[in-house]
Amino acid sequence: MNSKERFTTRVELYKKFRPHYPAALLTLLRQECGLTPTSVIADIGAGTGILAELFLQHGNPVVAVEPNAAMRAACAELTATHPKLQCIDGSAESTGLAEASIDFVTVGQALHWFDRRRARQEFARILRPHRNAVVLTNERHIGPEPFFVAYEQLLREHGIDYQRVKATYPSISDALEFFAPAKMHMAIFPNHQDFDFQGLLGRTLSSSYMPQPGHPGYDAMHTALTQIFEHHQNQGKVRMTYDCRVAYGQLN
């Protein structure tokens, strides 16, 4: 499936159940990169606006660039409370933004869907001189806790193309290459989500590689997920934890 269309049927699940980003990110960017409430943000591959909302709450004007119409429409709902948000149809490789018009380019959980060479060229084009690109990933823990191990095994056994998608996730060396020859900086923040069963199911179905209702593999996946939850829940909840990795630096 075209990467730009993979989430069309999962918009509400993505919006409701995907992890947000720690507010400590704003402190980091204020201290290290000179972020102010007037800094213009271009959030690339903005999806439903999870990362964009963090900057909007900080007071920043944000241009959300998203090629998927359904995801972009969900993001645009934020304009009801955040008039500084503009949502546009564009891609990482062709944003449609003016040259040297942006203070920060941000990417949340989407870099692996991009043509990274072309995206870097585009980011460098739209950034003002000596301004920064920021790439974030919430990396789910896959061990050693038994729940994490069991959940990862569920994805491997029941995911439609989980292994192929996972193989595209950028490594630290990929991030270094993306920023090169400029210097890349990195910070890591702890992050987590607590789920009842419906929340865990929603988080699972928000992933583009998992079978949805009506798919031949859905019932078996649902049964396996139910068993995992019942075995590992504590007072009706399980906790999914992440390392929120922030790579940042200048490109031009």
The DSSP line for 232-243 is H-BTTBEEEEEE
Which of 99-103, 232-236, 248-252 comes out lowest in average pLDDT? 248-252
Write out pLDDT tens, residues 73-131.
Answer: 999 999 999 999 999 999 999 999 999 999 999 999 999 999 999 999 999 999 999 99
Phi-psi region of 226 (alpha: psi -120 to 50; beta: other; left: phi over 0): alpha
CATH code assigned at 36: 3.40.50.150
Considering the domain boundaries, does residue 163 fall inside one? no
Number of DSSP helices (H) and strands (E) in the chain, helices first? 10, 7
Residues 128, 34: Cα–Cα separation, whole Å: 13
Share of the chain above pLDDT 90, in %: 95
Which of 66-75, 162-171, 225-234 is the least confident region? 162-171
Lowest mean pLDDT among 16-25, 94-103, 163-172, 187-196: 163-172
**pLDDT for residue 11 is more than 70:** yes
State residue 1's pLDDT score: 56
Q: What is the pLDDT of residues 142-181, one digit of tens each?
A: 989 999 999 999 999 999 999 999 999 988 999 999 999 9
Residues contacting 185, CB < 8 A, separation 6+: 32, 247, 248, 249
Domain hosting 39: range is 3-141+169-192+241-250
What is the count of structural domains for the chain? 1
pLDDT of residue 3: 77
User: Does residue 207 fall inside a structural domain?
Assistant: no
pTM across the whole model: 0.94
Residue 93 lies in a domain: yes
Per-residue model confidence (pLDDT) at position 36: 98
**Residues 174-194: what's their mean pLDDT?**
96
Residue 108 lies in a domain: yes
Residue 107 lies in a domain: yes
Confidence of residue 231 (pLDDT cuts 50, 70, 90): very high
Residue 72 banded pLDDT, cuts 50, 70, 90 = very high
